[in-house]
Amino acid sequence: MTNSITRLPIIKVNADESKHTFDALAIEEPLEIRLEYGRGNERQIKNISVTMRTPGNDAELAAGFLFTEGIIRNLEDIANIGHCFIACAENKENIMQVSLNENVIPHLQNTDRNFYTTSSCGVCGKGSINAIHTVSSFIQQEDNNTINAEILYTLPDILRQHQKVFEDTGGLHASALFSSNGKLLIVREDVGRHNALDKLIGAAINENRLPLNDNILLLSGRASFELVQKAAMAGITIIAAVGAPSSLAVQLAEEFNITLVGFLRGQRFNIYTAAHRIVIPEYEITH
C-alpha cells in the first residue's frame, strides 16, 4: 500500500503553537478503465469509465467495477487485465485495460446507466432495480445467513485494526468482508467508497468466492443506493454500516431482501430491513 500515501509539507496549528512538519495524505488519482472485446479483426477498445481512486488493487477495481455494473458476468469472461502502455507516457499506471475472451459479449447497454449514476429509466431508480433483477444471477437465492449481535459489535474494531491507510491519513473509506462468525476475509480502502467496494468485490471474484450470500459486508461510513446496488450484484445478504443509510439504500435493500444495519457503534445498531438475519440479545422485542 506504499503507493496509496504521499507525504507533503504542512504547517500544523495547535492552539498557541504552530510548526512546519509533514503530513501523510491519501493519494487520489484518476483511473481510466478500458475494455478490449470482440472477435478477430473486429476487436475494439472502448473507454468505459474514469473514476478518482487511490492507486493500488487496480486490477481488482477494474474487474469489480465491470462486474457490479453488469458489463461482465464472471472471471471467466476476462482474458487479461493490465496497465496500458500506450497513452501519456507519464500516466501509464492510471489506465487499466481489461481484455475479454473472444466469445464474450460485454453488456455495454449498462455503460449508459453508469454515466447516468445508476438511474437508467425515468429518473426513478426503477430501471436500475430492474437491471439488477435481469443481470445478477445471485439475487433472491435462498440463504440461511445469520449473524449474532455479539459478533456484529466486534466488526468495526477489527476493521479499524486493518485500515492501515486510514490510520495514517484519516482520508479513506473502507469496505470489509467478514464470515458470519466474524472472521475478516477481505478489506479494501479508497478515497471513493464505491471504489473500495468494487476492489473488495473484484478481490472476491478473483478468489472465486461469489455469491457472497453467507458473508457480512461492513462499510466504514454511510450506506448509499450505489453501495447497496453493488453489494446486491455480488449476492451479499447482510450489510452493516458504521454510518447512516439513505432512504433509497433502504428501499433497495428491502426490494432485494438484504439485511441492512446502520449506525453500528459500540453495542448499538439499527436494523432497517430483513431483521430475521440478525440474532439479537433478547428474542422478545419490546414494542
State the catalytic residues: 121
Least Å distance, CB 10 to a copy of itself, is: 5
Least Å distance, CB 126 to a copy of itself, is: 8
Least Å distance, CB 186 to a copy of itself, is: 23
- In the chain, the N- to C-terminal Cα span, in Å, equals 48
Amino acid 108 reads L
Cα distance between residue 31 and residue 227, in whole Å: 19
Residue 6 within binding range of a copy of itself, rule CB under 8 A? yes
Residue 2 within binding range of a copy of itself, rule CB under 8 A? no
Closest C-alpha to 58, from 1, 107, 117: 1
Which residues in 137-166 contact a copy of itself (CB under 8 A)?
A: 149
Least Å distance, CB 14 to a copy of itself, is: 5
Residue 135 within binding range of a copy of itself, rule CB under 8 A? no
Cβ 285 vs Cβ 270: under 8 Å: no
Q: List, in sequence order, the alpha helices (H) in 43-118.
A: 58-68, 109-115
Cβ 261 vs Cβ 223: under 8 Å: no
Residue 216 within binding range of a copy of itself, rule CB under 8 A? no
Least Å distance, CB 75 to a copy of itself, is: 25
Which residues in 68-87 contact a copy of itself (CB under 8 A)?
A: 87
Cα distance between residue 106 and residue 99, in whole Å: 11
Cα distance between residue 111 and residue 15, in whole Å: 50
Q: Which of 136, 220, 224, 237 binds a copy of itself (CB under 8 A)?
A: 224
Q: Which helix (H) or strand (E) holds 64?
A: helix 58-68
Options 45-53, 60-68, 73-81, 132-140: segment touching a copy of itself (CB under 8 A): 45-53
* Residue placing its CB nearer to a copy of itself in the complex, 41 or 287: 287
Cα distance between residue 152 and residue 208, in whole Å: 25
Closest C-alpha to 229, from 199, 255, 252: 252
Q: Which helix (H) or strand (E) holds 226?
A: helix 225-233
* Residue placing its CB nearer to a copy of itself in the complex, 37 or 225: 225
Least Å distance, CB 27 to a copy of itself, is: 4
Residue 13 within binding range of a copy of itself, rule CB under 8 A? yes
Options 25-33, 73-81, 134-142, 232-240: segment touching a copy of itself (CB under 8 A): 25-33
Q: Which of 65, 138, 178, 269 binds a copy of itself (CB under 8 A)?
A: 269
Residue 20 within binding range of a copy of itself, rule CB under 8 A? yes
Q: Which of 25, 75, 108, 184 binds a copy of itself (CB under 8 A)?
A: 25
Cα distance between residue 125 and residue 72, in whole Å: 21
Left (φ > 0), alpha (ψ -120 to 50) or beta: where does 232 sit?
Answer: alpha
Options 22-30, 140-148, 202-210, 231-239: segment touching a copy of itself (CB under 8 A): 22-30
Residue 50 within binding range of a copy of itself, rule CB under 8 A? yes
Using CB under 8 A, count the residues that bind a copy of itself.
76
Q: Which helix (H) or strand (E) holds 205?
A: helix 193-206
Residue 182 within binding range of a copy of itself, rule CB under 8 A? no
Cα distance between residue 173 and residue 254, in whole Å: 24
